[in-house]
Structure 1
Amino acid sequence: MKAINFKTFLFTIVSFFALSSGAQAVERVVATINGAPILESQVKRVLGKKANTEANRQVALNSIIDDILVQQAIKEAGVKINYAQVDQIIENIAAQNGLTYGQLLDALDYQGIAFETYRRQIANQLLMSEVRNQAIGKSVDITREEVQALGQKMLKQAQEKGTEKKVTGTEYQVRHILLKLNPLLNDAQAKAQLNQIRAEITSGKTSFADAALKYSKDYLSGANGGNLGFAFPETYVESFAKTVKNTPKGTISAPFKSDFGWHILEVTDTRQGNRTQEAYMQKAYEQLVNQQLQEASKDWVKALRKHADIKYLK
């Protein structure tokens, strides 16, 4: 294994280890932040091989201050580490850099970095991201018009360059019967009534279409035999979408509850639908969110600084 293969890759791995160890001997404190000391050795460690000029020292010190403020915010938020997610991220890092998991471990060992230390640092980065997103998530405001404009632009550019990625998915043709709750119909009664309707349909006493017309409180679809047409599951509320995907074609589901009331449904057919435009819209949305998050993240750290007690010592 050649050492040169690791150096570029591991530059980003080791870059955030600068603050991980404290000085072994008593040394000069250059600043305090909310009472926590910042040592000269920490500044030198962040400086690395850069010239020890006043400008470079200030940049290094600001970086340390920002990191400590984020660490304190994590502690105050009380966010817990999800190590299963951490391990998945590590596997992704290895794959993205063309390494097997074993090769990644070799790379860390070559640089003298213990795997558990690396794992804790990844966990810390994950916590930082989660706390930041909790703090600034509400400030993200993306309009439908912005998403559509960017998504259409991205799709058009891909088509012109011949790089368009076709995306397909399963559409389900569904019909349902809905009972809405009211002062005279509670959950137990609605569920029991739907079980009775379901039994009548499966025994052949009535058809689904006739039962929908007679009982369904979704009057628009009820007039059409309960038919909702073809749609991707994600267009429905979560409980309805889950039932659609879990119900075999040609069978009637057990009664289930959604935001609208109690239902039974039947999947009458499926087909492959084109989701390319939808995929580009999702990609556009994620890009717009990330842009806003990056800007809001800068403001968040500024806000942490504004409320912090920072003292520079000579």
Structure 2
Amino acid sequence: MIEKTLHAARRTLHARHTLLGLLAMAVLMLPAWSHAKVQMLDRIVAVVNDGAIMASELDERINTIALQFQEKGQPLPPPAVMREQVLDRMVLERMQLQLAERGGIKVDDATLNQALAGIARQNGMTLEDFAAALRQDGYDWAQFREQIRQDMLISRLQQRSVASRIRITDREVDRFLSSEMGKKMFEADFRLGHILVRLPAGASPEQVQAAKQKAESLVERLNQGSDFQQLATSESDGPKALEGGDLGWRPAAQWPSLFAETAIDMSKGEISQPLRSGAGFHIIKMMDRKGGIEKVVTQYQVRHVLIKADALTTAQEARSEAMRLHDSIASGQQEFTAVAAEHSDDPGSARNGGELGWITQGEMVPEFEDMMLNTPVGELSPVFESQFGFHFLRVDGTRDADMSEEFRRMQATQALQKRRFEEELETWLQEQRSESYVDIRL
């Protein structure tokens, strides 16, 4: 997935180093900064189904992670631990990219360029300036583009495979809002640290007991003063192990229920006892907490056109039709409302000239939201793809809105969806890993 936390422009040496560190942290690219010329034979370090991960790929990714640690001033974990952690992450990435390819999921150059332009804007640059800044720091622009493409492919795969199965009913929202837990969970944001002691699918009682004992031992070490980030880096099987287990900030209601129900009463700095899930035993640390959600939010007035592929229309034909309609509006030949009413495959908005009403961030699927946030008011977006088909949109205006009961219900729905998504994603990844052929040859 695309990292949204790349920060302000690098116009001084300090800013350049900050950007470099954040890019490395997100593991968005393979570096070109090493000047060593070592002659060596490549070899396979892992086989993932019908694909292979080479030692050279692993070494390049390790170099990127090492750069992250250097930028943060953190000691590196032992080499063997580093190689195992990085390779495990690469295996999961490769497995998902293979699934995306088999599912026909693609990210075209126009969509990729729009995403890159959004990243550049977050850094206060044009796309050309951003590319030049990366090249100046020694990074390969083509490799950076391909890593972003891969992140987008994985995000789309997860949306198609996991998010599409999640349905939140009005009754669930009502129950959540009326519960004591629901009321408390809108009162705080948490920043959590995480350590996972993983269990394989169908673990034996002996494996469960061994994992539990290891988790309890880690809690004991933490309570005796061991550094959480260092222990997470060296011992955790979680997806953020190489970031010291830092899961970042999130409203309390959006954490998986296993975490939220424990964290809601934790104080800053407190360590939980091991929490059992299907993935293994989790240890969480309350790294920080703060007050509740904002009372005022920005909303976007958006209209769009959707063209779907179906039994009679291929994806390429749907894309071409969306491009044709987009260009007819951009050139002034047709009005947006007329095109939407006649051609859009979204019946709910087509009858209103493509009008979707006022949208709050978090309501739409990621591809739509990213485009909405990165399209200036009054301008036509490029054609882009989501799980529903091919869209283009126009943002007609923005406004700041007070938090209302409707907004509170929307926030509750999003929180339940995000919580369910993370729980389902963890299970889905475990299932896919167990069904894949993975041969580690370290």
TM > 0.5: yes
Q: By how many angstroms is 1:153 displaced?
A: 4.5
Rate the CA distance shift 1:27–1:67 in 2: closer, same or farther, 3 A: same
Partner residue, 1:88: 114
Alpha carbons of structure 1 residues 285 and 246: separation in structure 2 relative to 1, 3 Å: closer
User: For residues 17-57 of structure 1, what are the alpha-carbon distances to aligned partners after superposition, in whole Å with 9 as ceiling and x for unaligned?
Assistant: 2499xx98532322222243322233333333345533222
- Aligned equivalents of 1:117, 1:6: Cα separation in 2: 19
Quickly say closer, same or farther: Cα 1:8–1:291, change in 2 above 3 A: farther
The 3-state SS of whatever aligns with 1:141 is: coil
CA contact (8 A) 1:166 1:276 kept: no
User: Percent of aligned pairs with the same residue?
Assistant: 20
Contact 2:28 2:144 survives alignment (8 Å): no
Q: 1:311 to 1:53 in 2, by over 3 A?
A: same
Choose which of 76, 79, 92 in structure 2 pairs with 1:53.
79
1:16 equivalent to 2:23? Answer no
Give distance in 2, aligned partners of 1:62 and 1:91.
31
Whether contact under 8 Å (2:30, 2:139) holds in the other structure is no
Give the letter aligned to residue 86 of structure 1: L
- Tell me the SS of whatever aligns to 2:439: strand
Task: Report the Cα distance in structure 2 between the residues aligned to 1:166 and 1:37, rounded to whole angstroms.
Answer: 46
Secondary structure of the corresponding residue to residue 292 of structure 1: helix
Question: Residues 205-255 of structure 1, C-alpha deviation per residue, up to 9 Å, x if partnerless?
Answer: xxxxxxxxxxxxxxxxxxxxxxxxxxxxxxxxx6466445699xxxxxxxx
The unaligned stretches of length 5 or more in structure 2 are 1-10, 33-37, 67-75, 189-290, 302-345, 356-400
Note if contact 1:167-1:275 (Cα within 8 Å) is conserved in structure 2. no
Partner in structure 1 of residue 89 of structure 2:
63
Paired residue type of 1:310? V
Partner of 1:277: 405
Q: Which residue of 2 aligns with 1:210?
A: none
Number of the residue aligned with 2:438? 310
**Compared CA separation, residues 244 and 9, structure 1 to 2 (3 A):** same
Residue pair 1:165, 1:276 contacting (<8 A) in 2 also: no
Output the CA distance in 1 between the equivalents of 2:353 and 2:60. Answer: 54
**Distance change >3 Å, CA 89–CA 291, structure 1 → 2:** farther
CA distance in structure 1 between the partners assigned to 2:299 and 2:12 by the alignment: 43
Q: Given the superposition, is the C-alpha separation of residues 82 and 246 from structure 1 closer, same or farther in structure 2, using an over 3 Å criterion?
A: closer
1:135 matched to 2:147? The reply is: no
Structure-2 change in CA distance of 1:66 and 1:157 (3 Å): closer
Query: Equivalent of 2:429, from 276, 295, 301?
Result: 301
Structure 2 vs 1, CA of residues 118 and 162 (structure 1 numbering), >3 Å: closer, same or farther? Answer: closer
- Measured in 2, the distance between the counterparts of 1:105 and 1:63 equals 26
Measured after TM superposition, the shift of residue 67 of structure 1 is: 1.3
Q: Distance in 2 between matches of 1:155 and 1:302?
A: 28
How far apart are the structure 1 equivalents of 2:106 and 2:293?
Answer: 45
Question: Following the alignment from structure 2 to structure 1, what is the Cα–Cα distance between the partners of residues 95 and 186?
Answer: 43
Q: Which has the higher contact order (CA 8 A, sep 6+)?
A: 1
Q: Match for 2:29: what amino acid?
A: F
- Distance in 2 between residues matched to 1:46 and 1:95, nearest whole Å: 26
**SS of equivalent to 1:38:** strand
Residue 164 in 1 paired to residue 298 in 2? no
Aligned to 2:383: none
1:105 maps to which of 106, 131, 147: 131
8 Å CA contact 1:169–1:274 kept in 2: the answer is no
What SS is found at the alignment partner of 2:162?
A: helix
SS in 2 for 1:80: coil
Residues 100 and 146 (structure 1), Cα distance of their counterparts in 2 relative to 1, 3 Å cut: farther
Deviates more, 1:132-141 or 1:146-155: 146-155
What amino acid maps onto 2:79 in structure 1? T
Deviation of the 1:130 alpha carbon: 0.7
State the SS of the aligned residue for 1:27.
coil
Are residue 38 (structure 1) and residue 53 (structure 2) matched?
yes
Q: 1:7 to 1:242 in 2, by over 3 A?
A: same
CA distance change for structure 1 residues 144 and 106 in 2, over 3 Å: closer, same or farther? Answer: same
C-alpha displacement of 1:74? 1.3
SS at match of 2:46: strand
CA distance in 2, matches of 1:169, 1:47: 41
Query: Would you tell me which structure has more helix in proportion to its own residues?
Result: 1
Q: Is the 8 A contact 1:108 1:114 kept in 2?
A: yes
SS at match of 1:78: coil
CA distance in 1, matches of 2:82, 2:103: 32
Q: TM-score, normalised by structure 2?
A: 0.41
RMSD: 4.0
3-state DSSP of counterpart to 1:32? strand
TM-score normalized with structure 1 length: 0.56
